Amino acid sequence: MIDTHCHLDYLDDPASARGELGLSGMVCIGASPEHARNAVALAERFEDVWATVGLHPTDTGEDSAQARAEIEALARHPRVVGIGESGLDDYWDETKRAAQVAAFEWQLDLARRSGKPLVLHVRDKPGQDSAHRGVMDVLSAWPDVPVILHCFSGHPGLLACGLERGAFFGFAGNTTYKNAQEIQAAARQVPQDRLLLETDAPFLAPVPRRGQPNRPGYVRYTLDFIAGLRGIEAAALERITDENARRIYRLPGESRPGPEAEGDDPR
């Protein structure tokens, strides 16, 4: 089982996450210069960890020539498999849209030049969709860059846009929440060859771990939930989503079925 999006360096003991609930691999997101360095260091240390490097839209205050040069250098590392997470975030009142767009377009260009997918973060205030519409506008000028819609929100417009451009869709623990009807509908609709599973650990722990710090191994609970939504055996969905992760991130090896969710849990 591969967790395609986690912040492993946020955990107190990253090594303790290895192998939990049959976890076989993790992509650690480095969405600032500091976290990019951390992600690469973890990927160098552990053979089952890979890294992305980029600049989160809420961290555009760190967008400088020096930061860009460091991230571009790290992007060439052989353990780096993606760029980002990047995108647009209008959740906070003081959104700096121009700076977010500039950083987003730079990372799209870096993804194009590096031949690696861009991991997209999109967040709005409840009931609004300005960030989603903004992402669609920006993406329209970059049709050839492969993208992963991380922690997909279920937004119908972005769903249609992503399906048209062949995007991959990452579903996190919030898919299991009772009020997540749009996300659940999208998790049923996305073609199985574009479906990814993630935790966003230590955030968004799935049911039955909601309210606790999330861990990469908890991706298995989201797997079981989405397997139920789609009417497919969990082991079959695991093979499918692991192959998808290996394809979009160009990870080595072959998928193999893991143990059921009732396996040993150190927490």
Quick one: pLDDT band at residue 211, thresholds 50, 70, 90?
very high
SS3 state of residue 186 = helix
Alpha helices in the chain (DSSP H): 33-45, 65-75, 97-114, 130-139, 156-165, 181-189, 219-230, 234-249
Considering the domain boundaries, does residue 155 fall inside one? yes
How does pLDDT run across 132-179, given as a tens digit for each residue? 999 999 999 999 999 999 999 999 999 999 999 999 999 999 999 999
Considering the domain boundaries, does residue 266 fall inside one? no
220: CB partners within 8 A, 6+ apart: 1, 21, 22, 23, 258, 261
Considering the domain boundaries, does residue 265 fall inside one? no
Quick one: pLDDT band at residue 1, thresholds 50, 70, 90?
very high
The CATH number of the domain holding residue 89 is 3.20.20.140
Considering the domain boundaries, does residue 194 fall inside one? yes
Per the structure, the complete domain to which residue 175 belongs is given by: 2-249
- pLDDT of 254 reads 62
- pLDDT of 181 reads 97
Considering the domain boundaries, does residue 255 fall inside one? no
Q: Which residues pair with 2 in a beta bridge?
A: 25
Cα end-to-end span (Å), the chain: 18
Q: For the chain, what is the mean pLDDT?
A: 94
**Is the confidence at residue 262, as pLDDT, over 60?**
no
pTM reported for the whole predicted model: 0.93
Number of domains the chain contains:
1
High-pLDDT (> 70) share of the chain, %? 95
Give the pair of three-digit tokens for residue 28: 């650690």
Q: Are 56 and 22 in contact (CB under 8 A)?
A: no
**Is the confidence at residue 257, as pLDDT, over 50?**
no
Give the pair of three-digit tokens for residue 94: 């003081």
**Is the confidence at residue 261, as pLDDT, over 50?**
no
- pLDDT of 95 reads 74
- pLDDT of 60 reads 87
Compute the average pLDDT of residues 174-203: 98
Query: What crossing angle do the helices spanning 219-230 and 181-189 adopt, rounded to 10°?
Result: 70
Q: What is the CA radius of gyration of the chain?
A: 17
**Is the confidence at residue 260, as pLDDT, over 90?**
no
**Is the confidence at residue 219, as pLDDT, over 70?**
yes
Q: Are 100 and 89 in contact (CB under 8 A)?
A: yes
**Is the confidence at residue 266, as pLDDT, over 70?**
no
Compute the average pLDDT of residues 215-236: 98
Considering the domain boundaries, does residue 257 fall inside one? no
**Is the confidence at residue 32, as pLDDT, over 50?**
yes
Considering the domain boundaries, does residue 259 fall inside one? no
How does pLDDT run across 78-99, given as a tens digit for each residue? 999 999 999 999 998 777 999 9
